Structure 1
Amino acid sequence: MRIVVVGAYGLIGSYVTARLLVDGHDLVGAGRDIGAARRRAPEVSWVEADLRTTSVEAWAALLRGADALVNCAGALQDSPRDDLHAVHLEGVRRLAAACRIAGVRRLVHLSAAGVAAGRGTAFNQTKLAAEVLLAGEDLDWIILRPGLVLAPAAYGGTALLRGLAAFPYVVPAVYPASVVQVVSVEDVAAAVERAVAPATPARVSVDLLHGEVLTFEAMVLELRRWLGLAPARLVPLPAVLARAAARLSDGLAYLGWRSPMRSAALEQLRLGIQGDAGAAGHHLGLTLRSLRQMLNGWPAGVQERWFAKAYFLKPAILAALGLFWFLSGLISLAVAFPEAASVLTLAGVSPPLAKGAVIVGAAVDMALGLAVAVRRWARPALQGMLLVSAAYLLGGTLVQPGLWLDPLGPLLKIVPAALLAAAALALLDER
């Protein structure tokens, strides 16, 4: 079959794509940022498309000759990069219209378990509206509604869970008594593989989750056991503290950082995630794995422990680097300007040139400190920190080599700061 997968490089979409490739299908992957995806999966025909803006006509052209459409795309919360109404509702409306034009009958749509009237988040409202929209379409649609999706790969909420599970000495958690039902991403991919088959009865909504009802506390502690870490006591976090962290994460979204700790995720956790555990077996003939079964199938190695332990270190490192570079430049200008310039003049640099060099250096330091806070500028800012550090070390050695023996270590301190920037570069990828 020729299948178009929208959102084919996301957490769920990448596993769906892998499963369909193994089954021998001809795949077209659609997404708004496909450069890395094209390198990872060259067997897929990648096309740049955006649910927020791509027209019905463009989707119809993409769908011509296809046998099925799978929509794995979605967003958690409105932000400068994500528009829930555009992605979850209007985008799905255009996809359905394009299917009618292109003659594609089979449409498999990924929604979410627990989506229902009365849940006040925009995520729930737009997901529910899309389900209602598809229910009225004259297509062979199947809506799959996964519970909390866990995967061997870590991204978004699954990454956050690992970070909490690996927290040193204690395990912090908010709403530890909230209940969730989980599903393996591999089982979600298997459900999509069943759903695209022409013989599978259509026009149904199918919850995908195991019957075991877990508390959030039990799930995080089980993940800690899976990581092979020593047992630790779970410490419930006050809801007010969690909401403050969520609002901070909401604000960081405007700088391009898409944290899973935003308000929508917190509210989803508070409400819990549950559904009909028998639906997958009844409609698709699938037996879904429990949490323990899926974790037993994904033995945790050192890479999982490294990732989990570094999860909260990454934002701390970026924040520390930003403050270090910005304050270094600010102090050079506002507090230590004469002393900084005198280092150069004592080495034979003319006073005007020395003052100009200090001003330029301070401005560069402050600019790098500010730039690393913006997601799209973070990588070039970190690379700039490495280059500027190398220039400072080389220049300082040539102009005033005695600084290496200075008890305050002005040159020595550059080395760990540069290594921290290199570590941040290594941790910067999100997918």
Structure 2
Amino acid sequence: MKVLVLGGYGLIGEAVVGRLLRDGHHVAGLGRDVVDAERRWPAVRWIAADMSRLLAAEDWLPVVTGMDAIVNAAGALQDGPRDRLDAIHRQSVVALVAACEQAGVHRFAQISAIGADHSSADAFFDTKAQGDKAVASSSLEWTILRPGLVVAPAAYGGTALLRALAAFPGFIPAVMSRQPIQTVAVTDVAEAVSRAVAGSLPPRSAVDLVEAEARPLADVLSAFRAWLGLPRAKIEPIPAIVGRLAAAIADGLGLLGWRSPLRTAALGALARGVTGHAGPWNELSDHPLQPLEATLAAMPAHVQERWFARLWLAKPVIFGCLALFWLASGIIGLIRQDEAASILVSRGVSANFAHMSVLAGGAADILVGAAVLVRPLARRALLAMIAITLFYLAAATLLVPELWLAPLGPLVKTIPMLCLVLVALAVLDER
């Protein structure tokens, strides 16, 4: 069959793509940025498109014509500069369903979410439910799948946060640690999609995909810590106000393009509990969904998992330190520009040129210090930091070489900062 997977390089979408390829289908994937996906999955025909801009059936018709099935694994957690929940979850899905009906697409698998509800005050759950309603009201052979907390070898979003908290040194911090959670392996989600596409599930059915028993978040975190091979640690409940403060900061970073999973929407979902009903799936299928222990056992952790888990929490610290360092350096240089210029003047540089150089250097420091906090500009800002630092070192070596031996080490101390920039570049990718 010819199958189109929306969000084909996401946490669930990528697993679905791999499973459908193994099933022998011809797979196309759609997403906003498919460059990396094209390298990793050359057997897939990738389509670069933003769902939030495909809001009419006519927009979708060229994409879905000729397809036998559609899998919608696309979604966003919260509104932001790149994400508009109503457009992605509702408007685009309404248009997509209409296009599928016109183009004669047979089957439609919708990846929804546990807790999707029209009456929810949370925009994520409300818009997801409206998208589900558009699918369920159609004439297509539809299946709506609502996964619990998806556990996968890939690590970003909520799964990355779980790993990071589980690897916290000394203890495991947890907000709402007693809230019930039901997990599901991403391979089980892909299996369910495979069956829906093949028509081996009853058409026009909606089911939860969750393990049989719920467990508190604290137990999930402890299981991940054991999976990482780290010593047992005590769960330390974190006051809700601290969680709300962290979520507010994450929301602010979201406006700068950083897609942290620790946002208000995520806390709202946790407060509801991530639970569903395993019974309906077990009645439809002879493939019971595996519990968390089996999911983790099927994807053994090695040293790269521990590196990732530890670096994930260090990442905001790294970027925050770099931003503060460069902003402070630039501001101090501008405040004390006469002293800075006098060093150059003492080496034979004209006073005007010395002051212009100090002003330009201070402005450059402030510019890159601010730019590194903006996700779309971060890579260029980090590369600029490297270039500026190397220029400073070269200029200082030529003009004031004795600074290398100065007691406070003003030049020597730039080397660790340069190394930190290289670390920031190494951990910049989010998925």
Q: State the TM-score bracket (shorter-chain normalisation).
A: over 0.9
CA offset digits 1:375-431 (Å, max 9, x no partner): 000000001101111111111111111000011211111111111000000000000
Question: SS of the residue aligned with 2:208?
Answer: strand
Q: Is 1:383 aligned with 2:380?
A: no
CA offset digits 1:276-316 (Å, max 9, x no partner): 11222322432211111111111110100000011111011
> Counterparts in 2 of 1:176-325, with a 5 A limit?
176-325=177-326
Question: SS of the residue aligned with 2:51?
Answer: coil
Which letter maps to 1:380?
Answer: R
Specify the alignment match of 1:2 in structure 2.
Answer: 2
Runs of 4+ in 1 over 6 A off after TM superposition: none
- Write the distance in 2 (CA, Å) between the matches of 1:58 and 1:127: 21
- Write the distance in 2 (CA, Å) between the matches of 1:95 and 1:258: 26
* Aligned-residue offset at 1:58: 3.0
- Write the distance in 2 (CA, Å) between the matches of 1:37 and 1:285: 33
State TM-score, norm by structure 2.
0.98
- Write the distance in 2 (CA, Å) between the matches of 1:302 and 1:279: 38
Question: SS of the residue aligned with 1:46?
Answer: strand
* 8 Å Cα contact 2:97-2:134 kept in structure 1: no
- Write the distance in 1 (CA, Å) between the matches of 2:390 and 2:337: 22
Which letter maps to 1:181?
Answer: Q
- Write the distance in 2 (CA, Å) between the matches of 1:62 and 1:395: 55
Q: Is 1:145 aligned with 2:133?
A: no
Which letter maps to 2:429?
Answer: D
* 8 Å Cα contact 2:118-2:127 kept in structure 1: no
Question: SS of the residue aligned with 2:198?
Answer: coil
* 8 Å Cα contact 1:68-1:106 kept in structure 2: yes
Specify the alignment match of 1:47 in structure 2.
Answer: 47
Question: SS of the residue aligned with 1:303?
Answer: helix
Which letter maps to 2:383?
Answer: Q
Specify the alignment match of 2:395 in structure 1.
Answer: 395
Question: SS of the residue aligned with 2:173?
Answer: strand
* Aligned residue-pair number: 430
- Write the distance in 2 (CA, Å) between the matches of 1:50 and 1:285: 37
Specify the alignment match of 2:134 in structure 1.
Answer: 133
- Write the distance in 1 (CA, Å) between the matches of 2:338 and 2:129: 64
Specify the alignment match of 1:343 in structure 2.
Answer: 343
Give the unaligned 5+ runs of structure 1: none
- Write the distance in 1 (CA, Å) between the matches of 2:212 and 2:116: 17
* Aligned-residue offset at 1:119: 3.4
* 8 Å Cα contact 2:211-2:278 kept in structure 1: yes
- Write the distance in 1 (CA, Å) between the matches of 2:271 and 2:40: 36
- Write the distance in 1 (CA, Å) between the matches of 2:186 and 2:201: 20
Q: Say which is worse superposed, 29-38 or 157-166, in terms of deviation.
A: 29-38
- Write the distance in 2 (CA, Å) between the matches of 1:66 and 1:286: 28
Which letter maps to 2:234?
Answer: R
* 8 Å Cα contact 1:206-1:283 kept in structure 2: no
- Write the distance in 2 (CA, Å) between the matches of 1:369 and 1:126: 37
Specify the alignment match of 1:429 in structure 2.
Answer: 429
* 8 Å Cα contact 2:118-2:130 kept in structure 1: no
* 8 Å Cα contact 2:5-2:27 kept in structure 1: yes
- Write the distance in 2 (CA, Å) between the matches of 1:339 and 1:323: 22
* Aligned-residue offset at 1:103: 0.3
Specify the alignment match of 2:76 in structure 1.
Answer: 75
* 8 Å Cα contact 1:194-1:284 kept in structure 2: no
Specify the alignment match of 1:124 in structure 2.
Answer: 125
CA offset digits 1:92-125 (Å, max 9, x no partner): 1011001011100200000012323543211111
Q: Say which is worse superposed, 48-57 or 389-398, in terms of deviation.
A: 48-57
Specify the alignment match of 1:332 in structure 2.
Answer: 333
Q: Identity over aligned residues, as a percent?
A: 49
Question: SS of the residue aligned with 1:289?
Answer: coil
- Write the distance in 2 (CA, Å) between the matches of 1:245 and 1:411: 36
Which letter maps to 1:388?
Answer: I
- Write the distance in 2 (CA, Å) between the matches of 1:83 and 1:13: 19
- Write the distance in 1 (CA, Å) between the matches of 2:208 and 2:193: 12
